[in-house]
Homo-oligomer: A and B are copies of this chain.
Amino acid sequence: MPREVRERQMLDAAVEVFARRGYNAASMDEIAELAGASKPLVYLYLRSKEELFSACLERESGALLAAVKAAVDPGAPPDRRLWAALRAFFAHTAAHPAGWAVVSVEARRHGEPFTNAVAAMRQEMVGLVARLIADTAEACEHAEAAGLAHALVGAAESLAGWANAEPGAVPSAHDAAATLMNVAWVGLENLLGGRSWTPPGPGPHS
């Protein structure tokens, strides 16, 4: 079997085991067994548990980012682009719950350098959404577009975590994307059109 096929099987197994047991409790024995490989071969190809985990993070965060980017047609209008990005995000996280658990939960638990790979991916997501918002509204100030992008990415992450934690209680990836799109886009359009919610004026409780 070619090495790249073997390595892919090992990474598939490792993502499952890291998601199921957590990084600390995950054993190389279980990963090797699930991959149908010998433990020495896993060490030969991927060197250590730490490097294996890093490889999982890189692959899973790269795949998520690639799925979102591939879904976005640069020539489409901004609302279609955002919709495509949200659908791709929720579809990918729903289809790869172990990968999403590793990227969103396990990576954070174990500090640098693991958090760095995921932070870079997240930063790219935020940048993608911020450009999209800025394209929609040239009038939109840079800081506001960045803030909205951070809010939207946080909202999507939180929804994806909830959807994967309680799959029965939750709408499909399509419904989650539609709900978020509705609130974000309709709110954004109104905001840009000047129809904003006005904070109450000064007063003891304002």
Question: Given the complex of chains A and B, what is the CA–CA distance between A189 and B195 in angstroms?
Answer: 12
CA distance A205 to B70 in the complex (A): 12
* Contact call A80/B200, Cβ cutoff below 8 A: yes
- A5 interface residue per 8 A CB criterion: no
Instruction: Give the chain B neighbours of A181 by CB distance below 8 A.
Output: 197, 199
A181 to B151, CA, bound (A): 11
Q: Which residues of B contact A183 (CB under 8 A)?
A: 148, 151, 183-184, 187-188, 191
- Chain A 159-185, CB within 8 Å of chain B: the 1/0 string? 101100000011100111011111111
Q: When the two chains form the complex, which single residue of B159, B175, B185, B190 contacts A150, counting CB atoms closer than 8 Å?
A: B159
A47 at the interface (CB under 8 A from B): no
Who on chain B is nearest to A175 by CB?
A: B147
| A8 interface contact, C-beta 8 A | no
Q: How far is the CA of A155 from the CA of B183 in the complex (A)?
A: 12
- Residues of B with C-beta under 8 A to A184: 183, 187
Q: Is A79 an interface residue (CB 8 A)?
A: yes
Q: Find chain B residues with CB under 8 A from A199 CB.
A: 83, 174, 178, 181
Does A20 touch B at the CB level, under 8 Å? no
Q: Is A117 on the interface with B (CB-CB < 8 A)?
A: no
- Give the chain B neighbours of A79 by CB distance below 8 A: 197
> Is there a chain B Cβ closer than 8 Å to A158's Cβ?
yes
Within the complex, the shortest CB–CB distance from A93 to chain B, in Å, comes to: 13
Q: Which residues from chain B contact A153 at a C-beta distance below 8 Å?
A: 158
9 CB-based A-B contacts, threshold 8 Å: A108-B109, A143-B169, A150-B161, A151-B159, A151-B183, A155-B158, A182-B190, A182-B191, A190-B190
Chain A residues with CB under 8 Å of chain B are 22, 24, 73, 79-80, 83-84, 105, 108-111, 143-144, 146-148, 150-159, 161-162, 169-171, 174-176, 178-191, 195-197, 199-200, 205
